[in-house]
């Protein structure tokens, strides 16, 4: 099992910044989206682009083959890539990223862009009329119109431990949320049936507005769902076919760990939605062997992958069926070192390590150029601020100049760190890594780089879940470890805030569930992040975060080595359309040929 599949299943996902209400109109937002044409079918290298085109066929059944199951299909808990594929096909969040334009979120349930107040502490959203709930069995809410109160309840239940939303507290600092455990939140009001107002505890509106693409914003009718939320486990999650659906599809059948089937939602009105919803039915098989699935998709018809294909399948498609494989950039990978413990608390040792690390070997170990490009900083190409941070060229730091490693530069920094010979004297370094390929191989390359500096490396490999939840994510444990092989991030939405704060903000260091692998806590960087989070203007925001990215490289908060490319494969009669912001099929746009 490769770690990318696990990684995809466990990490937050990317999106793109919303245009703010005070600077944009719906027309402008929609106008920013690219049109569709057949010349979009092919991407660089002759691979399929994964973009929507004119004249896609309506009807038919798509079969998805995946090896992983779902974590949470309740939109309140949905936080992982596979969950998102279903949630965004069956539900309507306030905003949505069209597959071909990951840079601009467009109103979905919302009726126009979010309005952010001048003090950046209030966000107001108008909701469309005429959107109705569909259910599998007729209930009191079947055909009932969605109101702002339903979005309000979605946020309230997110804090209920039976729903346990993982990011509400991060992106929505709502007034009164600290006291809410599933009940009313004073910071959310609904002045009328189609308006919802979020009052924030701090001037965070610019970032909150961008986070309104998250599944938490999917409306949830309180009268129907509150009784379910009182149960443990929550049936709205465990039996998702019981949900009230607003999207073009409904979950008609779900067998945990086996299959899920989506059918058309009869209450969905295409006049209220821009999604084409070509397919009649989507049948998703879970637990398929990835080696077999890759061959079935290659030889069969009407099939596509649900999660990351194996390296063998990628190679087969890339050489023999280029027009049926897509590569989509997503996220970053880096090596975090403990910046609060010797020897890596010394910035010169960190620079020496960066210089010694053979990042090209790391890329090759992961599958070569098809799987990504060498990283020289932390903001990937799809995230605003990438260019401002130096783009592909990087920041110019000499310790990252040679991707194959530079022993002379490493020795220079070791001398500056107080090792006159340019090598350490066998001081002990504790390192943990993942035991699945290819993470195992990259961990071994990292170990060799540290050892080449003269350190004595104590090296242990563990499975990813254990590594994170018992060691790298637990501060007291992490403080005793020099290198914890947990490296990489997929942002929740395509904004540099969502990309950098989780890993490098001082307040991200927590007792448990810690995501700051380097224990990096630099007051100047923290202050710069606080300031940049308030910036509403997209250009200014990208500049500010690009500068922060540069500063992270200067401080060697970690050593970046890869910007990922995610592969998706499909059978010959499938026109797979990839939601660029999550690098997975957008089921509302994918069709048969």
Partner 1 sequence: MARYILRRIGWTVVLLALVSAVTFVIFYALPSADPAVLRAGRQASPELVAQIRARLGLDDPLVVQYWTYMKDVVLHFDFGFSYQSGESVRAAIVSRLPATISMTVGALVIWLATALPIGVISAIRRRSLLDRVTMTGALLAISAPVYWLALVALYLFASDIGVIPIFDGANTYVGITQDPVQWFASLLLPWLVLAAGFSAFYARLLRANLVEVMGEDYIRTARAKGLPERRVVWRHGVRAAITPIVTVLGLDIGVLLGGSILTESVFNIPGVGRYAYDAIRTADLPAIQGTVLFAAFFIVVANLVVDIAYAFLDPRVRYG
Q: How far apart (Å, rounded) are the C-alpha atoms in residues 110 and 92?
A: 9
Q: Residue 575, Cβ neighbours under 10 Å: how many?
A: 23
51-59, 109-117, 289-297, 404-412 -> range binding partner 1 (CB under 8 A) = 289-297
Q: Which is nearer to partner 1, 80 or 561 (CB)?
A: 80
Of positions 35, 54, 119, 232, contacts partner 1 by CB under 8 A: 232
CA atoms within 13 A on the CB side of 577: 29
CA distances from residue 487 to 290, 391, 427, 573 in whole angstroms, order as listed: 24, 20, 24, 37
Site string for partner 1, 164-183 (x = CB under 8 A): x-xx-xx----------x--
- Decide: 517 and 467 in contact? Cβ < 8 Å: no
Instruction: Report the candidate in 183, 178, 194 with the shortest Cα–Cα distance to residue 156.
Output: 183
CA distances from residue 495 to 146, 279, 583, 593 in whole angstroms, order as listed: 29, 31, 16, 34
Of positions 112, 203, 276, 300, contacts partner 1 by CB under 8 A: 300
12 binds partner 1 (CB under 8 A): yes
Cα dihedral angle (536, 158, 505, 545), rounded to 10 degrees?
A: -20
- Residue positions counted in the chain: 593
96-104, 163-171, 188-196, 441-449 -> range binding partner 1 (CB under 8 A) = 163-171
222: left (phi over 0), alpha (psi -120 to 50) or beta: alpha
Q: Which residues ranging from 28 to 67 are in contact with partner 1 (CB under 8 A)?
A: 65
Distance of CA 559 to the CA centre of its chain: 20
- Token look-up 């254990």 returns 466
The minimum distance between CB 194 and partner 1, in angstroms, equals 30
Of positions 48, 50, 80, 82, contacts partner 1 by CB under 8 A: 80
E-state strands within 94-143: 95-97, 105-107, 115-116, 122-126
Of positions 49, 296, 308, 452, contacts partner 1 by CB under 8 A: 296
- Decide: 220 and 76 in contact? Cβ < 8 Å: yes
Q: What share of the chain is helix, strand, coil (3-state, %, to 5)?
A: 35, 20, 45
Instruction: Report the candidate in 207, 278, 242 with the shortest Cα–Cα distance to residue 134.
Output: 242
Total binding residues for partner 1 by CB under 8 A?
56
Of positions 204, 298, 378, 563, contacts partner 1 by CB under 8 A: 298
554 binds partner 1 (CB under 8 A): no
Of positions 289, 456, 479, 554, contacts partner 1 by CB under 8 A: 289
Instruction: Report the candidate in 339, 360, 499 with the shortest Cα–Cα distance to residue 16.
Output: 499
Q: Which residues ranging from 448 to 507 are in contact with partner 1 (CB under 8 A)?
A: 462-463, 465-466, 468-471, 473, 492, 502
Peptide bond into 233 cis (omega under 30): yes
Q: Which is nearer to partner 1, 329 or 488 (CB)?
A: 488
295 binds partner 1 (CB under 8 A): yes
The minimum distance between CB 193 and partner 1, in angstroms, equals 31
69 binds partner 1 (CB under 8 A): yes
Q: How many H-runs (helices) and E-runs (strands) does the chain carry?
A: 19, 21
Q: Which is nearer to partner 1, 6 or 389 (CB)?
A: 6
Which one-letter DSSP state was computed for residue 110? B
The minimum distance between CB 190 and partner 1, in angstroms, equals 25
The minimum distance between CB 583 and partner 1, in angstroms, equals 17
96-104, 134-142, 288-296, 550-558 -> range binding partner 1 (CB under 8 A) = 288-296
The minimum distance between CB 178 and partner 1, in angstroms, equals 9
- Decide: 303 and 460 in contact? Cβ < 8 Å: no
430 binds partner 1 (CB under 8 A): no
114 binds partner 1 (CB under 8 A): no
The minimum distance between CB 343 and partner 1, in angstroms, equals 25
Site string for partner 1, 503-532 (x = CB under 8 A): -------xxxx-x-----------------
Main-chain dihedrals φ then ψ at residue 314, nearest 5 degrees:
-60, -45
Of positions 2, 10, 41, 315, contacts partner 1 by CB under 8 A: 10
- Decide: 546 and 388 in contact? Cβ < 8 Å: yes
E-state strands within 448-502: 456-462, 483-484
235-243, 267-275, 358-366, 394-402 -> range binding partner 1 (CB under 8 A) = 235-243
- Token look-up 């961990």 returns 443
Q: Which is nearer to partner 1, 167 or 327 (CB)?
A: 167
Q: Which is nearer to partner 1, 226 or 238 (CB)?
A: 238
255 binds partner 1 (CB under 8 A): yes
192 binds partner 1 (CB under 8 A): no
Of positions 22, 26, 197, 238, contacts partner 1 by CB under 8 A: 238
Which one-letter DSSP state was computed for residue 246? -
Interface with partner 1 (CB under 8 A): 1, 10-12, 65, 69-71, 79-80, 161-162, 164, 166-167, 169-170, 181, 232-235, 237-238, 255-258, 285, 287-289, 291-293, 295-296, 298-300, 462-463, 465-466, 468-471, 473, 492, 502, 510-513, 515
């Amino acid at each position: 099992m490769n770690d990318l599949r696990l990684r995809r299943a466990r990490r937050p996902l990317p999106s793109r910044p919303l245009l703010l209400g005070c600077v944009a109109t719906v027309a402008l937002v929609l106008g920013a989206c690219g049109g569709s044409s057949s010349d979009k079918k092919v991407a660089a290298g002759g691979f399929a682009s994964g973009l929507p085109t004119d004249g896609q066929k309506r009807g038919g059944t798509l079969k998805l083959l995946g090896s992983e199951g779902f974590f949470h299909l309740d939109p309140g808990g949905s936080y992982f890539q596979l969950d998102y594929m279903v949630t965004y096909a069956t539900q309507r969040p306030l905003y949505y990223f069209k597959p071909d334009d990951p840079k601009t979120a467009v109103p979905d349930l919302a009726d126009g862009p979010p309005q952010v107040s001048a003090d950046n502490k209030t966000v107001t959203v108008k909701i469309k009329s005429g959107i109705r709930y569909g259910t599998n069995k007729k209930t009191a809410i079947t055909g009932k119109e969605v109101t702002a109160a339903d979005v309000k309840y979605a946020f309230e239940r997110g804090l209920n431990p039976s729903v346990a939303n993982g990011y509400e507290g991060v992106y929505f600092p709502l007034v009164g949320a600290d006291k809410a455990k599933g009940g009313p939140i004073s910071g959310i009001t609904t002045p009328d049936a189609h308006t919802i107002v979020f009052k924030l505890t701090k001037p965070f509106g610019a970032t909150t507005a961008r986070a309104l693409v998250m599944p938490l914003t999917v409306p949830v009718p309180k009268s129907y769902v509150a009784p379910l939320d009182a149960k443990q486990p929550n049936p709205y999650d465990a039996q998702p076919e019981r949900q009230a659906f607003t999207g073009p599809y409904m979950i008609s059948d779900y067998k945990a760990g086996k299959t899920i089937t989506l059918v058309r939602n009869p209450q969905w009105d295409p006049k209220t939605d821009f999604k084409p919803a070509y397919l009649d039915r989507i049948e998703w098989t879970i637990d398929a062997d990835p080696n077999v699935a890759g061959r079935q998709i290659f030889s069969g018809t009407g099939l596509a992958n649900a999660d990351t294909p194996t390296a063998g399948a990628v190679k087969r498609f890339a050489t023999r069926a280029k027009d049926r494989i897509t590569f989509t950039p997503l996220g970053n990978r880096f090596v975090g070192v403990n910046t609060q413990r010797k020897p890596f608390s010394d910035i010169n040792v960190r620079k020496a390590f960066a210089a010694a690390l053979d990042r090209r070997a790391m890329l090759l170990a992961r599958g070569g150029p098809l799987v990504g490009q060498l990283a020289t900083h932390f903001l990937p190409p799809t995230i605003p601020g990438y260019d401002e941070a130096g783009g592909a060229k990087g920041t110019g730091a000499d310790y990252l100049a040679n991707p194959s490693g530079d022993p002379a530069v490493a020795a220079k920094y070791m001398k500056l760190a107080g090792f006159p010979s340019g090598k350490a004297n066998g001081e002990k370094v504790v390192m943990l890594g993942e035991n699945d390929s290819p993470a195992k191989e990259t961990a071994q390359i990292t170990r060799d780089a540290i050892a080449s500096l003269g350190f004595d490396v104590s090296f242990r490999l563990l499975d990813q879940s254990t590594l994170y939840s018992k060691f790298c994510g637990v501060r007291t444990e992490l403080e005793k470890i020099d290198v914890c092989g947990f490296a990489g991030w997929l942002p929740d939405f395509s904004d540099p805030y969502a990309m950098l704060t989780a890993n490098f903000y001082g307040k991200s260091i927590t007792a448990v569930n810690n995501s700051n692998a380097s224990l990096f806590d630099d007051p100047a960087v923290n202050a710069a992040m606080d300031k940049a989070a308030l910036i509403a203007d997209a250009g200014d925001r990208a500049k500010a975060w690009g500068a922060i990215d540069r500063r992270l490289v200067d401080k060697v908060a970690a050593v970046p080595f890869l910007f990922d490319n995610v592969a998706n494969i499909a059978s010959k009669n499938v026109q797979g359309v990839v939601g660029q912001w999550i690098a997975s099929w957008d089921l509302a746009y994918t069709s048969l040929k």
